[in-house]
Amino acid sequence: MKVFTSGIAALGMAVSAYAQNLSYGADNFYRSPNVTVHPITFPTQNNNTIAGNLFTRNNLPLNGNASAPAIVVGHPMGAVKEQSANLYATRLAEQGFITVSLDLPSYGGSSGFPINSVSPELYAEAFSAAVDYLGTQDFVNRTRIGVLGVCGSGGFVVSAAKIDPRIRAIASVSMYDMGAVNRNGLRHSQNITQRQQVIAAAAQQRWNEVDGAGTLYVRGTPLNLTANPVDREFFDFYRTRRGAFVPENSTFELTTARSETSNVRFLNFYPFNDIETISPRPLLFVSGDQAHSREFSEDAYRRAAEPKELYWVPGAGHVDLYDRVELIPWERFYGFFRANL
C-alpha cells in the first residue's frame, strides 16, 4: 500500500495547464534522426535490474573492434532517464560517443522497493554497473568510459568515481549534493534543531509502517505555483509538458516523490569527502551562474584536486541546464570528453 502526502496522488492525473516557459530552445524530449536508441537492462552487484537506453550514432561502425568511447548519463534526483538524461545522452551520441542513460534503482523502470526509496550507495553502484555493461560490449573500449551526472546524479557519479577508477572522466551539470542540502538546506537555511525534527518524524513513520501503515511519500518538488523562485523553477519543468510528458514510461505518478523513512539516509551521504582521490582523472563542473544550487559545484571544485574545471554558464539557473539547448554549453562537454576519453 502507498500513502501520499497532500496532493501527491494527483500527480499522475493530469499535466498542468500552466503555460510553461520554453525559452532558449527548451527541448527535453529531443530526438535525433542520426541516433538509434536501444532499450536495455543490466544487473548491479546488489541484484537490482537497471533500466536504461543505449544510444549509438547511425553511421558509427559497431564492428567489434572495441574502439569507441562511452559515457553514462544520470538523471536529476527524483526524475527518470527521460527527463534530461536522454537529452544529454542523445547529443553526446551525435558526436560519436556510445552513451547510456539509466533509471536509478527504485526509479522509473529499474527495480527496487519501496519504489522511489533513497539509497545513495545503490545509486553509485548503478553507475559502476553501467560501466560493467559497456565494458562487455565488443564495440566499446573499456579504458575509455566516462560519466555525466545531472543535478543529484552529479553527486552520485562523484561517489561512484571515488571507488571505481574505471571511470576515466567525470562531469556534472547543475550539481546537487543531496547530503548537504538535506542536512543544511540551501545556503545553510536549516539548523540542527530542524534537522533533528526531520529525523524524529522519519523515525516515527518507521514505527507507523512497522505497525501496518503504508509507505509515506513526500514530494521533492512543488505541486502548485508559489512565490518561491526555486519552487517556480522546478514547477515549470516537472509539472508541465516541458518535462513531465513522458510517453515512454508510466512512472510520472511518483516523479520527484521519495519515501519519508528512506530520505533521511541522505544525511549520511558525503560525496565530496575524499574527492581529491579521484585525481589525476579529470573533473568538470558546469553550473549556471544564477543557479540556486551553485554552492554545491563550488564546494566540489574547491575540494577536488587537479585536473579540474568549474565552468559558469552566464545567466543560467539550475533547471535551465536540464533542457534549454541554447544555454547548455555543449562544446564544453564535447571537448572535455574528447580530450579525456
Mean pLDDT of 195-220: 93
> Beta strand 35-43 with 258-259: parallel, antiparallel or unpaired?
unpaired
Using the predicted structure, report yes or no on whether residue 4 has a pLDDT greater than 60: no
Rounded to the nearest integer, the mean pLDDT of the chain is 91
Full residue range of the structural domain in which residue 217 is found:
2-340
> Beta strand 167-173 with 140-150: parallel, antiparallel or unpaired?
parallel
Domain CATH code at residue 203: 3.40.50.1820
> Beta strand 215-218 with 2-4: parallel, antiparallel or unpaired?
parallel
pLDDT, tens only, 34-86 = 999 999 999 999 999 999 999 999 988 877 787 899 999 999 999 999 999 99
Grid cell, residue 291, equals 543557479
pTM summary value: 0.93
Place of cell 510517453: 247
- Please give the pLDDT value at position 12: 39
Measured CA to CA, the distance from residue 214 to residue 73 in angstroms comes to 33
| Amino acid residing at 222 | P
Q: Per the structure, how many domains does the chain have?
A: 1
| Amino acid residing at 58 | N
Using the predicted structure, report yes or no on whether residue 145 has a pLDDT greater than 50: yes
